Each structure stands twice: as C-alpha cells, then as structure tokens.
Amino acid sequence: MDTAPLPLFSFDRNELQRLQSALPADLQLLRLRLRFGLPVRVQLGQRFRVVVDIVDEVGQPFPKHFAPPEGVDIALTSGDSGNQESGSMDSDDLTLEIEEQVSPAAADRQTKWLFWASVQGSTSSVIDACVSLSIMMKQTAALGGDPTMNDHRRLLLQTFCVGSAWLNERVLVLPLQVQLQVTNARDSSASSLTSTFCQRLFRSTPSKVSATGRPTDEGGLLIVEEHYGDAMGAHVWDASILLSWAMLHASTRAPTSPGQADPADSNQTMLELGSGCGLFAAVLARFQCSHQHVKAVFTEKPECTGRLQKNLDRNGSPPSASVLALEWGTPLPSPLRGANVRVVFAADVLYNWAAHEVFLDTLDQLAESDAKLEVLVAHKRRGKASAERLDALASDTFDPAAHCVISSDKAGCRWTQWRVDKLASLGRVDLFQLSRR
C-alpha cells in the first residue's frame, strides 16, 4: 500500500514542548556590545580603548531591575577560531595586557566597562598576525540539580551560544569577538582606522553530554559577523537564535536513502525568507548537507546579500546552498520558479503588520506550484497588537474585518488563505506553522 511521503522537514512536537518547558516565558537574551569601534590594526605595545556594555537585541540598555553582573573577561583568541589562549599565541608569543578603569559612581552597579588594552610580544622578527579579542560576561548564576532535565536543556542553549553566561534564571548574556591585526612594523595609519564589526559564536551540532551530565563544547563552531552600526539584516536576532536551537534539538529529517525517497520529490529546495546576517542560514546549510538532492536558498534584500554570503562562506556552506536577492511582493526571480520549494523558513519577519501583505504575496506565489508548501515562522513577541492578531490566527478566531488592517483590493485579506498553527513558545519567541487552506 502506498504511503504519503514524509515531509522534507518537521519538528518533533513533543520535544518542542520539552524545550518550551525548560525556558522561562520571559527569557531575555542580552548581548555584550562595543560602544565604539576598535582599531583595525594595532602595533605591539599600542594602548587602545575597549568600552563594553550590555544591551538587548535592539540596543536598549541593561534593565535596571536586574542585579548587575560581576564583570567581564577579555582574552586573546587565535584568529577567528574562538579558542581561548589566556597566555600566549603559539608562534608569535603574544599576550594581552588589560587595565580596567572603574568609575567610583558606577562601582556599585556597573553595566558598562572601560578597559585600556595592549598586545605585547617579545619577538624581534616582523609579524603581521590576525588575532581576536574574546569578551565574555563572568558566569553569575549556576544551574544544576533540576531532576526534570530543564537545566540540561538550558545548558544546551548556553552551549549553542558559545561563551554565553546566565546572569540569572531568566537572562542569558551573549559574548562578542572582535578581530585585530597585530603588527610590529611602524605604520602611521595603524591607530586611525577603526572597525564596527564584531562576531557572535554558535555551535551547529548538538553537544555531547559529558560524564558529569553537562554538555561539552566539541565541534561545529559557527562564526557570524555583525555590523552594529547598521539595522536590519546586520544583527543576530533572538528569533533566529531560538529557531536555530530548536532545529538542532527538536527537528526530524525525511529519509535520504534513494530506496526510501520518492523519485518525483528529488531536487527539492528549502528556502529562507529574510535571512539577515545568516545564523539560521549557516545552521540550515550544515543541517541539509546530508540530503543528497536538497538545495537551500537564502534570501535577503539586495543591499544585505553581501554580508549574508560572507557569513555562509566563512562557515563552509556546501555548494548546494546559495544566496539570492529577493524583495517580497515582487515576481519570484527565475531561480525560484520551478525550484520545487517544499519548505520555507522565516525568523522575525512579522514584527511589522503592514509588511505582512508583501510577505504573504511571496508565500502565495510559492504555493502556486505546491499547495502542500510548509512554512515555519519564528516570531518574537514585541508589540501587543501583532501578538494578539497572530494568536487569533492560531486559535481560528481571526476576524479579517477587525484584525487584518492591511488588505489588497484584489486579494482581500491574504491571511484568510493560510492556516496558522502555533507549535511552541520558546521564551518570547513563538514558532508557527503555516499551511495553505
């Protein structure tokens, strides 16, 4: 008896519920941020200023009702590998000297840190080394002893966000990494050029569990470059982080054996709309590389595709992964027409209700060639109105006349053509599955 082919991708709903139970409903992912750019090149012994503070994903300052952290640690790392070298760099014998400048007024509640740093070395030969500064928050809250395995899953989130630290049970703080070029050659421009790029580190493979029950930090390192002077498409957003984490720990895969696969379903495509700077893209590119006949296409506005491509290249994405410029609401570009798109991912694309029209127009075009198109969306709850309307869609109580707000004269409210199912809530990020009615 013939059976329906398995979907190309799906979530294990039971495991999603376990992940949901492990995270507080008001989970906050904060970030360490550089207030000012750092020199692109520094000479040995040159002092430079490092100013670090803690912000949320949109750059808002550290919440006043939280107890402040104990401080931050700064260390040299080798290149952009993320491997700490607390003392010296192997061949160049470089060390980092740090002097912290503490304001008496801020000493009791310090959420911004000022350091003077310099890279020292004893070598007499000419060097031009690429190193990085790794800046991490000191671990404040210790997890442990939860018999329900919630601590284990929260540790998996901490391990996925490499170098992160729990400030308390509700707040995880992400570190940052900055590349520097160190030279002992005299260069008058060394201190004049600054960079506002930084890197966030993640792990693309589910961590192994050690004999002590704690996840290990082995393998699968991903490095995603951000530009904190830009806005959209330049940062790693919370929804992308939690969608990536859920994919690693709660996803199921379709069979990849030629004997199991349906020949008519070969050469399928996974598509992401609004890939941003590419965290989820990098995770998905590694996830789908075991699918012999599956392509992955990642899309962004034309002005954002350069950074997206750079981050995919940095993390060794396979040839089957590609970047494509796409403006929602416009005709699909030729590479997507006839691409057999079976599943669409999107993270943090529903924050502006007025943009839903063009987003859904693009989904409608994709669904024309596959009525069974699967759409998975991660949405960070911010505005009350959008959250209420999405909940109404998921509970089938959506009233187009009252809720749609945006509708085209030709198509009416496009949301009425889609069934919305809420799969889980990971902290403040909701996971939705959309399917064509």
Domains of the chain are 9-20+239-256+265-436 (3.40.50.150), 27-232 (no CATH)
Q: In terms of DSSP H, where are the helices of 146-292?
A: 150-160, 238-250, 279-287
Q: 76 — phi, psi (to 5°)? A: -80, 140
The per-residue pLDDT for 350 is 92
Residue 41 Cα distances to 125, 132, 241, 263, angstroms = 18, 11, 31, 54
The enclosing H or E element of 108 equals none
Of 152, 177, 150, which Cα lies nearest the Cα of 162? Answer: 177
> What CA–CA distance (Å, rounded) separates 73 from 245?
25
Q: Between β-strands 294-300 and 165-168, what pairing exists: parallel, antiparallel or unpaired?
A: unpaired
Number of Cβ within a 10 Å radius of residue 19: 25
> What CA–CA distance (Å, rounded) separates 341 from 295?
9
The per-residue pLDDT for 115 is 94
Per-residue pLDDT of the chain (437 residues; tens, 9 = 90+): 455 556 788 999 999 999 999 999 999 999 999 999 899 899 999 999 999 999 999 888 888 778 878 889 999 987 655 444 333 344 457 899 999 887 665 555 678 899 999 999 876 666 788 999 999 998 776 665 555 567 889 999 999 999 999 998 899 999 999 999 998 877 665 557 888 899 999 998 755 544 444 545 556 899 999 987 666 678 899 999 999 999 999 998 655 544 445 544 568 999 999 999 999 999 999 887 666 689 999 999 999 999 999 999 999 989 999 999 999 999 999 999 989 999 999 999 998 888 899 999 999 999 998 889 999 999 999 888 888 999 999 999 999 988 886 655 555 799 999 999 999 999 999 999 999 99
The per-residue pLDDT for 230 is 64
Q: Between β-strands 38-39 and 341-347, what pairing exists: parallel, antiparallel or unpaired?
A: unpaired
Q: Which residues contact 233 (CB under 8 A, 6 or more apart)?
A: 276, 277, 300, 301, 303, 304, 307, 308
